[in-house]
């Protein structure tokens, strides 16, 4: 019984990264879209909310920055060597800042009336958020592996 | 000069302006591939990385791969924009991936020395995980960071020329 419980705990620990990915996808992307749909239904509007329109001002860049912070936090709490923690944190921070910069630039352009292209803001923020998300996901997988090795 | 000739000259003189979205997507695909290989081949893939790191082939393979990959991204962007190639970007793309991979390889060596001096339990497995993690960081850095540098240099040049 105890061995089975240990086995389940070990398998659960191996797939924590999957929970991490699901949490961010659900709470960061799906829930805002769902809230928009709920608002549309409540107000009887004929708006057809799409992800592209919801995040057309580069908001995904901000999501990317938050993701990077979460990844850095997990990395700093890990038992990896300081070199690895520092390197991963810097890399995530650079990518996160670049993603956040898309949102900031988009805001500045709209506020000052400078030429603004929503298509470009959407494309840039989506690509950079995808990079941060994929990097943070791989880091979570690597940290799960490292945690298992450290426990043994 | 006629209008079509002027337009043609303008197209020919257009510079390649790399937006970070292009290398970001490429680096993200590398990340996804790396993650999938780790999930579906949890023993074979890390073992292959570690074996090649110890026999010294991994660093060379990574330098060659990142140089080719970065060049492919840059040439693709230039082709899509029908723009002429500049000297600054190819110079960065030719040198930065090598510097990043070699630099991070030295950093990994010092991380391994530190691990060995720590008398930690399960030391061999820890070192293997450090090698796999550093390999991933080096790969993504060598693909993405040169373009970040190019972008910053381009912005610096634009700001300077506006003054």
Read off the pTM. Answer: 0.85
Write the DSSP assignment of chain A as a string of letters.
-HHHHHHHHHHHHHTHHHHHHHHHHIIIIIHHHHHHHHHHHHTT------HHHHTTTSHHHHHHHHHHHHHHHHHHHS-S-HHHHHHHHHHHHHHHHHHHHHHHHHHHHHHHT----HHHHHHHHHHHHHHHHHHHHHHHHHHHHHHHHHH-
Give the A:B interface size as CB pairs under 8 Å.
103
pLDDT digits (tens, 9 = 90+) for A34-54: 898 888 888 888 787 788 888
The residues of A whose Cβ lies within 8 A of any Cβ of B are: 80-84, 87-88, 91, 94-95, 98, 120, 123-124, 126-128, 130-131, 133-135, 137-138, 141-142, 145-146, 149-150, 152
Candidate from B54-63, B87-96, B108-117, B153-162 with smallest mean pLDDT: B153-162
Query: Which residues from A are below 8 Å from B18, CB to CB?
Result: none
DSSP bridge partners of B84: B15
Chain A positions touching B22 (Cβ under 8 A) are: 127
Predicted confidence at residue A46, as pLDDT, reads: 79
B122 touches chain A (CB under 8 A): yes
CB–CB contact A138 B136 (8 Å) = yes
Residue B80: pLDDT band with limits 50, 70, 90: confident
* Prediction ipTM score: 0.85
pLDDT single digits (tens) B120-138: 778 888 999 999 999 999 9
The ranges assigned to domains in chain B are 19-157
Tokens 């003189």, residue located:
B13
Lowest mean pLDDT across A19-23, A32-36, B67-71, B142-146: A19-23
- With 80 as the cut, is the pLDDT of residue A11 above it? no
pLDDT at A13: 62
Interface test mutation site (partner A, options B49, B137, B144, max chain A beta carbons within 10 A): B137
User: Taking CB atoms and an 8 Å limit, are A83 and B108 in contact across chains?
Assistant: yes
What pLDDT is attached to residue A130? 93
Q: Does B21 touch chain A (CB under 8 A)?
A: yes
Q: pLDDT class for B7, splitting at 50, 70, 90?
A: low
Question: Are B137 and A84 in contact (CB < 8 Å)?
Answer: yes
Q: What is the structure's pLDDT at B162?
A: 67
B36 touches chain A (CB under 8 A): no
Please determine, for residue B12, whether its predicted confidence score (pLDDT) is greater than 60.
no
């Amino acid at each position: 019984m105890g061995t089975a419980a240990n086995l389940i705990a070990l398998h659960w620990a191996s797939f924590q990264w999957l929970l991490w990915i699901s949490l961010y996808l659900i709470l960061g992307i799906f829930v805002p879209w769902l809230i928009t749909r709920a608002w549309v239904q409540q107000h009887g509007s004929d708006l057809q909310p799409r992800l592209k329109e919801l995040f057309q001002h580069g908001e995904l860049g901000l999501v990317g920055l938050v993701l990077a912070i979460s990844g850095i936090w997990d990395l700093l709490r890990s038992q990896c060597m300081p070199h690895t923690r520092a390197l991963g944190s810097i890399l995530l921070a650079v990518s996160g800042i670049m993603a956040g910069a898309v949102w900031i630039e988009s805001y500045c352009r709209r506020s000052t009336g400078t030429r603004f292209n929503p298509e470009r803001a959407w494309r840039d923020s989506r690509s950079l958020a995808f990079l941060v998300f994929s990097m943070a996901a791989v880091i979570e997988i690597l940290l799960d592996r490292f945690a298992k090795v450290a426990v043994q | 000069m006629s209008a079509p000739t002027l337009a043609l000259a303008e197209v020919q003189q257009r510079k390649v302006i790399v937006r970070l979205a292009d290398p970001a997507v490429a680096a993200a695909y590398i990340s996804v591939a790396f993650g999938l290989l780790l999930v579906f081949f949890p023993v074979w893939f890390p073992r292959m990385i570690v074996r090649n790191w110890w026999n010294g082939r991994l660093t060379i393979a990574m330098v060659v791969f990142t140089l080719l990959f970065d060049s492919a991204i840059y040439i693709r962007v230039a082709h899509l924009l029908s723009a002429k190639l500049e000297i600054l970007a190819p110079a960065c793309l030719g040198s930065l991936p090598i510097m990043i991979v070699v630099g991070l390889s030295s950093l990994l060596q010092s991380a391994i020395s530190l691990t060995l001096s720590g008398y930690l339990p399960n030391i061999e497995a820890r070192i293997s995980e450090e090698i796999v993690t550093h390999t991933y960081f080096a790969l993504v850095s060598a693909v993405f960071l040169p373009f970040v540098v190019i972008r910053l240099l381009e912005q610096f040049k634009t700001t300077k020329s506006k003054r």
